[in-house]
Amino acid sequence: MIDLNNKVVIITGGTRGIGLETAKVFCANGAKVIIFGSKEETVNKALTELTKDGYKVEGYYPDLVNLEEIENTLKKIYNNYGQIDILINNAGISANKKIEETTTLEFDNIMNINVKAIFNMVKAVVPYMKKQNKGVILNTSSMVSIYGQPSGVGYPASKFAVNGMTKSLARELAPFNIRVNAVAPGIIKTDMVASLSKEMIDPLIKTIPLGRIGEPEDIANAFLFLASDMASYITGVILQVDGAAHN
């Protein structure tokens, strides 16, 4: 176990997949977890699953593209707990359409959720972390931020932006003892991947030197390490967790 006892962590996109597993792992290691989701129903469903395991978790569903909503929610959380130690920006959407089929509205939506939402969350949380003179900000990137993908240009473009924000914010916030890192997952067994047929999965596995698709827990554990004091001298890093699939 890594001791995160009494650390307050906010996880956006915390209602399913990697985000939900990260919430479980952080709870199991003593953190006080607050999950953000897109809708009241999905937040309540995730809270039901987390609390049945005996964890005490809170949930909110602010519009991540609306800075004022985020600021109001974070103010409430800070007033309740007196601290915000860790922010995990995990909310995101993907894309796979060819560029001729992608509308500007769809492109804007990807950039809003994958980039602007992180900007808003960081902008809102930094004053609290500066007041504490400590904090950890972690972002979800992707292996496609390293080498792109054959269609759905908005997704890798947004994740390239996440990498740039991560590295730049790490330099800007280091004097305030705030570390900023990102995790770049490879092919992970989320709901979408789990629904693929064996005929589609097997060729994917052959491209991964470690010979398996990643589990959500693999990403959650990477976040756990980077959030902990074990990573106290690590900032500005994009940690690739992909079984060497990028090589």
Alpha helices in the chain (DSSP H): 17-28, 40-52, 67-81, 104-111, 117-132, 144-147, 154-173, 191-194, 198-206, 216-227
60 is catalytic: no
In single-letter form, the type of residue at position 57 comes to V
Smallest CA-to-CA distance from 73 within 10, 21, 28 is with 10
Separation CA 243–CA 185 (nearest Å): 9
Separation CA 175–CA 171 (nearest Å): 8
178 near 131, Cβ under 8 Å? no
Catalytically annotated residue among 60, 61, 128, 155: 155
Radius of gyration of the chain measured on its C-alpha atoms: 17
| 177 burial level (CB within 10 Å; 0-12, 13-18, 19+) | middle
Active site (catalytic) residues: 155
